[in-house]
A and B are shown apart, each in its own frame.
Chain A
């Protein structure tokens, strides 16, 4: 009952925000990027694609050493093999993505026909299913191989999330993602923004909190803690668990909308995935 009441209260808040006057996504993005510019005055905008290493010189040294023999390399090779290997019906990913493999720059995108945010991971599985193949799991495993390959091939493209003006549902999805980002959740009562906006650059125990700007540019990420490459939605699942909130489904509506908002905030930044993090 209490849970239900909470949900209703949350819905009321979400509804209220959606109904009230709102800043445009472009004004949001400018404010978001300016926030970091003012906080880390010596950090160039292009540096934020390097996440925490944009602001943590000690961690950066270790990271640069790791990047000399990138731990994600075997995953890129595996992904290339996946990209090239025909499905059972003889077709390949290329038949779904004519511009592939360097296609990361157009995702996440608004799919007007289905009225939803489509991420690259989701599009890859749609392609598989359309060709009679089983979808891949969204957090761990081979999806990270093909995502690594596509990310690598897409390096240098600019983040350029588009919120089409001709479909108000796209803006609504963005607003939902934004709301998610700023909503406190979990027993520990943290929003994404509490740590990665409000307290970016501060230490939690011995770890420095990374800036949110640039968070989306380098996924999938080889994380030493995982010992493998993982998706953005796996990482977000971990964040939610850390604040003792029940995580949402990877590639479910909540995380897709969140990705839509968060990636939009990094519009203009170069894609540099896959990345390596501790």
Chain B
């Protein structure tokens, strides 16, 4: 292998890695602390405030504008798909009331990843 192909190989590996980072939002092995942190973000009014609209087990005084969150792994094919929905629900449904948490930077990418872990666990 020449140096240039080696570099090319490294570069494409880098692209692949970057691509994976972008597509696969979260480490596959999320510890309980990640889920817990996600729950905190989801329940906090000034953060995710998911309870404003969604009933979630363990959450108090939930709204009923949107469907209860449960059996998420049967509703979304992957964490990536779930993340996309949280990041900008208007992509799938322009009439949705759900705030675009990613697009409008309501939560940071790292925060959304935690919320995804939590919601995926429901």
- A190 contacts B97, CB within 8 Å? yes
> In the complex, are the beta carbons of A204 and B63 less than 8 A apart?
yes
Interface presence of A203 (CB below 8 A):
yes
- The CA-CA distance from A189 to B105 in the complex, in Å, is 11
Determine whether A34 belongs to the interface, using a CB cutoff of 8 Å to chain B. no
B63, A202: Cβ atoms closer than 8 Å: yes
Q: How far is the CB of A162 from chain B (nearest CB, A)?
A: 32
* In the complex, B34 has a CB within 8 A of chain A: no
Residue-wise, chain B 42-61 has the 8 Å CB interface mask toward A (1 for contact) of 00000000011100000001
A residues within 8 A CB of B64?
202-203
- CB-CB under 8 A for A205 and B61, given A187-B106, A188-B106: yes
Whether a CB of chain B sits under 8 angstroms from the CB of A194 is: yes
Judge whether A198 is part of the interface by a CB distance below 8 angstroms.
yes
Once the chains bind, are A199 and B97 in contact (CB under 8 Å)?
Answer: yes
Count chain A residues whose beta carbon lies closer than 8 angstroms to a beta carbon of B: 13
Chain A, residue nearest B65 (CB)? A202
A98 at the interface (CB under 8 A from B): no
Chain A minimum-CB-distance residue to B45 = A205
Smallest CB separation, A240 vs chain B (Å): 15
CB-CB under 8 A from B105, the residues of chain A are 187
Report the minimum CB–CB distance from B99 to chain A (whole Å): 4
Specify which chain B residues have a CB less than 8 angstroms from the CB of A195 in the assembled complex: 97
* A187 and chain B: residue at smallest CB distance: B104
Instruction: Assess A205 versus B63: contact at CB under 8 Å? Given A187-B104, A188-B104, A189-B104.
Output: yes
- Per-residue contact bits, chain B 84-120, to A (CB 8 Å; 1 contact, 0 not): 0000001000010101100011100000000000000
| B99 engages A205 (CB within 8 Å) | no
A206 touches B (CB below 8 Å): yes
A189 touches B63 (CB 8 A): no
CB–CB B106/A205 < 8 A: no
Q: Is B62 in contact with chain A by the CB < 8 A criterion?
A: yes
**Does A204 lie within 8 Å of B99, measured CB to CB?**
no
Cβ contacts under 8 Å, B52 to chain A? 204-205
A206, B53: Cα distance in complex, Å: 10
Closest beta carbon of chain A to B53's beta carbon, Å: 7
Q: Say whether B97 contacts A203, CB under 8 Å.
A: no
**Beyond known contacts A202-B64, A204-B52: 19 more, CB 8 A cutoff:** A187-B106, A188-B104, A189-B90, A189-B100, A189-B104, A190-B97, A195-B97, A198-B97, A199-B65, A199-B97, A202-B63, A203-B63, A204-B63, A205-B51, A205-B61, A205-B62, A205-B63, A206-B61, A206-B63
